[in-house]
Chain A
Amino acid sequence: MVSKLFCRTLVALLLAAVAGKGAAAKPTMESVGSGLVCQCGCNGIVSQPCQHYECAYHAEMRAMIQKEIAEGKDEAAIRQDFILRYGVQVLAVPPAKGFNLTVWILPGVGLLAGLALVLVIVRRWRRAPASVTAPSARPVDPKALAAVEEEIKSMGLGIRD
């Protein structure tokens, strides 16, 4: 009963989220500017102030966004106009097509490849017996051992687990 209710709520929330996405939101300085980079070389996005003092590009780009929003253009159209004016480098992230897809894919691939490597290492470690003499098999200096024992005793602590 509880799980049914949970599933229904989840589906309702998902539908609401999808419906919300579907409705084209009115573009704002934040929504458009956060996808565009100031062209002065500061690498900052247009929705935030430019790091270069009195940057002419930043003021110009913000004015263009405001003008196009006032003209009733949607986000995609405004971005297209920016690409036509400044080139594709005006986008804060490259369009996800062709070679540019790799910018998004490779970090994920790297993450998964790293995980695979960790799992392989763990499997090998678990299977393989110790290949060289373990440190515990080395002769232990009695002075060192006494120092450690005294320390553990004085702390009143055992080794965890």
Chain B
Amino acid sequence: MNQVGSVGLIAALAFAGYAVIAGVAGGKLRSLRVVKSAERAVLAFFVMITMAVAALETLLLTDNFHIAYVAEHSNRDLPTYYKVAALWAGQEGSLLFWTWLLAIYSALAVLLNRKKNRQLMPYVVAVLMATGTFFTTLVFFVANPFHELALVTASGSQAFAPPDGNGLNPLLQYHSMVIHPPMLYLGYVGMVVPFAFAMAALLTRQLGDNWIRTTRRWTMVPWMLLGLGILLGGNWAYVVLGWGGYWGWDPVENASLLPWLSGTAFLHSVMIQEKRGMLKVWNVVLVITTFFLSIFGTFLTRSGIVSSVHAFAQSNIGPFFAVFLSLILFFSVTLLFLRLDHLKSENKLDSLVSRESGFLFNNWILLALVFAVLWGTLFPVISKAVEGVTVTVGAPFFNKTAIPMGLLLLFLTGAGPLLAWRKTSFQSLKRNFTVPLVLAAVSGIALFVAGVRHLYAWMTLFLSVFVAVCVLGEFWKGARTRMRTAGENFAQAVYNLTMRNTRRYGGYIVHLGMVLLFIGFAGLAFRTDVKGLVGEGDLLRVKNYLLHCDGLVNGENANYEFTRALLTVTKDGRAFGTLHPEKRFYKASQQPTSYVAIHPTLSEDLYVVLAGLDQDTGKGIVEVFVNPLVMWVWIGGVVVFLGTLLALVPSRVEREMAEIRASQEVAVQTENGF
């Protein structure tokens, strides 16, 4: 089976290389036959990489421990779904998985553009497959997951298979880890498609509306999935790592946030180009930046240049990534400079108080945030290189720099949509901002009176009210108009309003989701934690919760041994529930871990970790956290996801316009004979 995988990889490499050459040649020669052949090579690349992935999955599922990767990341008693997930548990497998996702995106880009963007497609194929060539080369030559284990003796080497594998890292044995890496990778990898379209547009000088319209949708999907991946990663950290938090400004977490932030900037600034024909250079810069940061994030996770709890897969692939990143930068920036003449603005700014300015300021803050996070993440490496001293840049730095910028962004989330394109009159400002500001001020006073004294938390909640009123006001105004003119009831009016302009109202729902996320973040300011020893009959009090220990029980299953604390919880004297935190010891990997018990509510989570057993008393060392508002982080994330999904659904007007554009393009292609 490992030979099947290796054959798949080498064939994929050949197809990717051919697709690059045929793509460029087909584009230059304007030969439909050559271009089609390049596109078929992309599909063949997809088939071959799928074959390699299927081979590795088969090896994992059938416990073929003579393969080094399988022996290192799986074991016989590992549940089947974790065996499947072991594909992305290590360096070699996850790089193959990365390449497979690239193959899926590339095949989809080819299949969905059979009748569209025909002038761009040869170069889109070339850029996609150049990236494919790089990753397949890495997987085949540097981090091959199909290497066999061998015993080297005096008489030579012979194949070797241990009776069982080392097992999957216990920290990865959690249900969100089955889905978190695929989402994150789908986000990272997906950014290659907008980059490919941008490069193709620059190469062909087709820098009109077409590439930007195509790219927007191809950016929204990975942006959404990257966001979901980040959220699931936060959930994993919260539930598995047992430190009571979901975001620690770890370098690898930062690496995933960076392309998401620059992608957010692009999704906003692209609207200025679509509506006003402005910010053309800037949009190309953002697409390049987002793709660069995606690859950079992959590099950071795997190269070992920064220390991180998440950098589980380190090896010697760093220099290869450094070369690839340099090539991306050189190629794209040179091309951009060569095409500056084609990227001139079509309009001028009519007023400083306008939607365009709002987007500019949004982009300014987002990119400043990207810079601050990137700088803080890389500073230890830079400091080591410049001064020879290792320093740490931890959470206090990121909190001090990112929170004020985040609050500014939150304000713009509400204010931006209330500004009109071109120019906003004073009357309009007054009309649109009075109610949100008054309600936010009333809430601010109420929060202060209620005892919220933490400045950032207060500002977050104050601005959240402002933004929520702004966004809901947009729905209210639109629905009221429909109720008056079309005689619909409120629910019908909101539904029809939303479905007629999914992009706009989907965007508003995303903004509402961001508000909920920020409300969740504000809860961090009010966290409480208590540590204590508990044995049968012991009590532990945290705020208004009382935890009664009914005992500690031991047990085991095929995969791990455990000690479980049985805790009955009362809140304000009333029964609240039972919590069973566990300390586990995984047999195959011989590693301990904790299984956190959480009682989530909308207002706060009761979070209990069994940290271990006290050697003197035999009692459980229990750490209890009361984490306010955490649930709103997960709810907010889901709302952002759903809002983005809605914005991806074409509205009626969009569908009609797309049909018209398609018919026009077919006419142009027929004229050009391409």
Contacts and interface: CB of A to CB of B under 8 A. Distances in A.
B491 interface: no
Contacts of A50: 243
Interface in B356-402: 357, 360-361, 363-364, 367-368, 371-372, 375-376, 379-380, 383, 386-387, 389-397, 401
Contact of A118 (B345, B360, B422): B360
A156 B309 contact: no
A157 B392 CA distance: 55
B486 interface: yes
B251 A111 contact: no
B346 A43 contact: no
A107 interface: yes
Contacts of A54: 592, 611-612
A88 to B, nearest CB: 6
Contacts of B650: none
Given A49-B243, A106-B375, A115-B364, A125 B345 contact: yes
Interface string B410-429: 00000000001111110010
B242 A49 contact: yes
Interface string A24-61: 00000000001101000111110011111110000000
Contacts of B361: 118
Nearest to B209: A135
Given A111-B405, A131-B344, A53 B242 contact: yes
A39 to B, nearest CB: 9
A99 B653 contact: no
B485 interface: yes
B36 to A, nearest CB: 30
Contacts of B481: 155-157
A23 interface: no
Interface string A113-142: 011011001100111111111110000010
A157 B486 CA distance: 11
B664 interface: yes
B546 to A, nearest CB: 22
Contact of B277 (A53, A118, A135, A161): A135
B392 A37 contact: yes
A151 B389 contact: no
A103 B28 CA distance: 47
Interface string B470-512: 0000000010011011100000000001001000000000000
A102 B371 CA distance: 13
B149 to A, nearest CB: 28
Interface stretch (A2-10, A72-80, A90-98): A90-98
Interface in A140-156: 141, 143-144, 147-148, 151, 154-156
B352 A111 contact: no
Contact of A90 (B242, B387, B392, B653): B392
B377 to A, nearest CB: 10
A128 B350 CA distance: 11
A121 B360 contact: yes
Contacts of B428: 160-161
A90 B360 CA distance: 39
| Interface-central residue, A54, A111, A131, by most chain B CB under 10 Å | A111
B357 A45 contact: no
A153 to B, nearest CB: 9
B357 A122 contact: yes
A20 interface: no
B244 A48 contact: yes
B248 A130 contact: no
A45 B396 contact: yes
A4 B15 CA distance: 79
A148 B486 CA distance: 18
B368 A89 contact: no
Given A43-B394, A106-B375, 18 more contacts: A41-B307, A41-B308, A43-B248, A49-B529, A51-B242, A53-B591, A88-B390, A89-B391, A94-B393, A102-B379, A106-B371, A111-B405, A122-B352, A144-B660, A151-B652, A156-B485, A157-B481, A161-B423
CB-based closest 4 A-B pairs: A156-B485, A125-B349, A107-B372, A92-B394
Interface of B: 209, 237, 241-245, 248-251, 277-278, 307-309, 344-349, 352, 357, 360-361, 363-364, 367-368, 371-372, 375-376, 379-380, 383, 386-387, 389-397, 401, 405, 420-425, 428, 478, 481-482, 484-486, 497, 500, 529, 591-594, 609, 611-612, 623, 652-653, 656-657, 660, 664
